[in-house]
Every structure is written in structure tokens, then in C-alpha cells.
Amino acid sequence: MIREFQSDLDMQRITMNDPVRDHQICVCVRKRPLSKKELNRKEVDVITIPDKETTVIHEPRTKVDLTKYLENNKFRFDYSFDETATNELVYRYTARPLIETIFNQGMATCFAYGQTGSGKTYTMGGNIVGKNQDCSKGIYALAAHDVFKYLKNPKHKNKDLVISCSYFEIYGAKVFDLLNKKRKLRVLEDGNQQVQVCELQESVVNAVEDVLKLIEIGNRLRTSGQTSANQNSSRSHAVFQIILRRRGHMKGGAGGQLYGKFSLIDLAGNERGADTSNSDRQTRLEGAEINKSLLALKECIRALGRNGAHLPFRASKLTQVLKDSFIGENSKTCMIATVSPGMNCCEHSLNTLRYADRVKELGPDNKKGGEDYIAFDDTPDVVSPTLSSGDPAASNADLALLCTHSGSGEAEQNELYTFHEAVSQLQDAEEQLVECHKKSVEETKALLEQEENLLDKVDDVDSDLEQYVQRLDVILKQKIDNFTNLRGIHIWIGKQISYNFTCVKCTEPEITVGHRMYVRTNLHLVRPSAKLVGLFFQIKNTSPFC
């Protein structure tokens, strides 16, 4: 049936000679070829790309009378790449136009989204052979090559720019520096409401080879794990940034006035957001966080295309650290949706295409007209640079906005909001516990020194026993308060962790019927935390260590 469908098509593949359109938001899809394992299993290729913009996925269905048929789901994107497309071809239409943006003092974002094994890491990072990766063939390296090429251009040479790179991952709601031994980082807002990733290491690079070394270092530290869909699934969002700064404003290292930034993102495998079968509690929490971050990312990109629309960047850590890429007229974003062609991956591929379709919503039959093409004109737009963790009320408002865009009814939206709010409270409480534990250890060390000094003095001939007893009493009370406060928070966290989340399978990375069932099933397990939250913050506000 698929061959009959394809036989009636006039196939028109995209080539290196086609024009590159100028998009503020570019959404494309890339289909990989069938793998050797899939060919050995004689899997059917269920994805057809008939032209430069259209992608069709043939979904096997069964009628009431058990008659089998194919449902041809048609999607239209800015570009559609079939299995013959090379990384160089994909790069030409996706990331390459964004290089000009950062040299015009803009912010650019290019991210790969899809099921693990669909070609995300191959597209962004290059060919993988065994456990080794040839980073010279991916979009990271191609973008770095063009950045250095632009830097040598007479138009940009007198701008006195320096190139640096950073590489970090977002796992759950935590940020880790992949270039600094996976050090945990804090994400705060400054007085100008600019989001800062505190103590993120930036490394100055002078050649493409320097960039490739940094990518290799970061890739070795990236978090991965097993899902029901893949043995080695990415459990985190990896963000590699190429940063331009003015040399005249350098303050040592890679510091200095920001000129432009290109964020290249390899998102967590989207099957992790739906993977609940035979999963432990940690995997289920990962899935909940991935669901939320992908929904937040979609809404932020959609807001970028609607002037004046509210940007719900506080709804997830991913969109929070990418805030500067979604604001300003000189911000551009490109999404590369990667899909697997095999019949066994049909459901995941269909979910990927639906997600990509909702990002821009071109529609399968609405042909474009009057589009601009890349002109590479220099139109500068200056980027603007007291830190705080952000406004909790604003974060809750952004989360509520996401729930209203989930396509569910009011009651389901409330359930969804309550569930994700409870998960966020659990994540915040975990960070507070670790922070309080660190401060408790520091305080214990200080008290231990005081005790040693007290013991040294009590051996003196003229020591005062009464003063010794009084001082020891003060130290002991401080130690008791220290451990009591820490123990109270520890008990509260322990009760939350002890709840066993029973998962119901989700079929999409967004909030769907399956996810709403998941929320309803687990809501009674996280609701009791509301009472404990009050106790926790009472302890937190009265504790001298938190």
C-alpha cells in the first residue's frame, strides 16, 4: 500500500542549489535511513518525503471489521529532508543562516528533537562508531567552522571579537557544567531580569579543533540511561553555546561584554517523556520533567513568533536558561525534528511530527507566499547584560499558562498544575536539604573548633569551671538546634521519596490523555506534601543554617 502511494508521487528532493529562506522560526524534519538491524528484521519504511516541505507518515490502522488499512498523516514544514540528506545539506538550511544572526548582535538557537536513535546526536555531533564519535561531521563542527570564517571576514574583523564556548546539561531541574567536572550550577536572575548561569565555565577557543575537544570532553560526562525504547537514551538536555564577546571589554578569561550567542541543543530523547513501563521512581520523575520542559519550549517558540505574547520561560529550567534566545527582534530559532522510519517506531515518529507541527503550525496545504530570503545585511541590535532565584509567583503563573495550553478541560488543567507544582516543590526541597546539609557541616566544623579551644583552656591552671560549663552549654544547644533542623527537613524529604509513583503510559511528549491519567493516578501521592511544605518552610525560615 505504501508503494502504491509513492508510485503516484512526483518526488522532489531538496538540494544544495535550492534557495535558503529567512525565518525567525524555522522548523524542519529529517528522516534517517533504515538501520542494519531494521533491515535484518525486514521492517517497513513508513515515512515518505515527497517534496522539499512535506512529510507523510503511514500509520497502520484497523477498522471495526478488522480490515487493515493505512492512514496517511500529512505534515508540512519549512524543510523536509529524506534519508539521502547529508549533515552538510541539513546544516545549510538550518544552522548556517543563524551564524549571521550572532554576528549582528543577535541570539540564535538550534535544537534537535526526537526519539533516541532517530539521528539527533548524529545530526548535531557527527557520526558515531561504537562508543566513539567523529565530532568533525556534525552541526557543532560545521557551525564552529563558519564562525571562525566569519571572524576573518573584513566586515567583522575590526569588531575585535573573541570566541568562547560553554557546554552544560539540564538533568531534571538541575544544571551541570560539562566542561568543569560536571559541577552543579545555580540559575539566577539579575537586577535587569537577565538569567545568569552562575559560575558556568567559558573556554576561549582559537580554532575549530579547540571546539571539537570541548565537545568530546562534555560528551563523555553527559548523563545517559536505559529506557524501554533504547538501551542508551540521553537523560538530559545538552546545551553547547558558541559565544561572541568584545575583546576590548575582556576582564580575564572569557569574561566581557556579550555580543552574540549561538545555542546548539541536543534534547533528551522524547521517548523518555512517555516512558513509564517497568520504570523506577527516578525515571518517572525524569519523564514528568521532560514533559514539562518540552511543552514549555514549544510555547516559548510560539511566543517568539507572536509579537507581544507572554513568554512562559520560568515554567522549566530549559526555557529559563534559554530566555535570552527568545526575546528581542534579533532572536532566531531553528528546530530539527528527527524521525525513525521503521514500523516499530511509528508511534514515536508520529508524536515527534505532531510536536514539530504545533511549534509553527504551517498546515499541510497552506502554501507560503511573499517570503524573504537570506540577504545577510548587517542590522545590529544591541544585547543588554543583584542576583535572585526568580519570582515564585511568576514561575507558578508560567506553569499555569502551560497547563491552559495543554488542550485539556479546566478540571484536568487544575490537576495538571497541582501535580507539576508538587513535583517542583519536591525538587526545590531536595536542593534546600542539600544546601542545609552543607551549611550544617560547616557549622559543625566551626563548633568543633570552639570545643577544642574550650578543652585547651580548661586544662589551664586559672581556668574557670563555671565559664566552661556555660560555654559548653551554648555549644551543645547550637549543635542540637543544628541537627534538629536538619533532621526535620530530612524526615520531610524522606516521606516524599517513599511515595511510589504508579505510572500510566503517556503516548506523547506533551500533556495528553495518557499523561492526564498519569497525573490523576499519582495526584493523591503528592497532595499530602502541601501540609508538609508548610512545616518545611517553617523550619527553613527559623533555621540559622538555611
The pLDDT value recorded for residue 274 is 52
3-state helix, strand, coil in the chain (%, to 5): 45, 20, 35
Chain segment 19-46, per-residue pLDDT in tens: 999 888 999 999 999 989 999 999 888 9
Q: Helices H, strands E: what count in the chain?
A: 16, 18
For residues 154 and 170, what is the distance between their CA atoms, to the nearest angstrom? 38
- Is pLDDT of 279 > 80? no
The pLDDT value recorded for residue 490 is 83
Query: Which of the 8 DSSP states describes residue 420?
Result: H
Name the pLDDT band for 477 (thresholds 50, 70, 90).
very high
Chain segment 424-468, per-residue pLDDT in tens: 767 777 777 888 888 889 999 999 999 998 888 887 878 888 888
Name the pLDDT band for 525 (thresholds 50, 70, 90).
very low
Among 491, 489, 518, 496, residue whose Cα is nearest residue 506: 518
Name the pLDDT band for 517 (thresholds 50, 70, 90).
very low
For residues 169 and 234, what is the distance between their CA atoms, to the nearest angstrom? 10
Pairing of strands 233-234, 47-48: unpaired
Among 213, 38, 120, residue whose Cα is nearest residue 128: 120
Name the pLDDT band for 209 (thresholds 50, 70, 90).
very high
Name the pLDDT band for 512 (thresholds 50, 70, 90).
very low
The pLDDT value recorded for residue 203 is 94
pTM of the model: 0.74
The pLDDT value recorded for residue 33 is 94
Chain segment 231-262, per-residue pLDDT in tens: 445 678 999 999 999 886 554 445 678 999 99
> Which residues does the annotation place in the binding site for ATP?
114-121
DSSP H/E element including 435:
helix 410-458
**Helix spans in 126-201 (H):** 139-151, 154-157
Q: Report residue 357 as a C-alpha cell.
A: 507541527
Residues 83, 85, 91, 93: is their CA dihedral positive or negative? negative
What's the CATH architecture for 1-361?
Answer: 3-Layer(aba) Sandwich (3.40)
> Which residues does the annotation place in the binding site?
114-121
Is the pLDDT higher at 535 or at 159? Answer: 159
> How many Å is the maximal CA-CA distance in the chain?
105
Chain segment 375-396, per-residue pLDDT in tens: 433 333 333 334 445 555 555 5
Chain segment 495-507, per-residue pLDDT in tens: 766 653 433 333 3
- In degrees and rounded to multiples of 5, residue 84 shows phi and psi of -90, -10
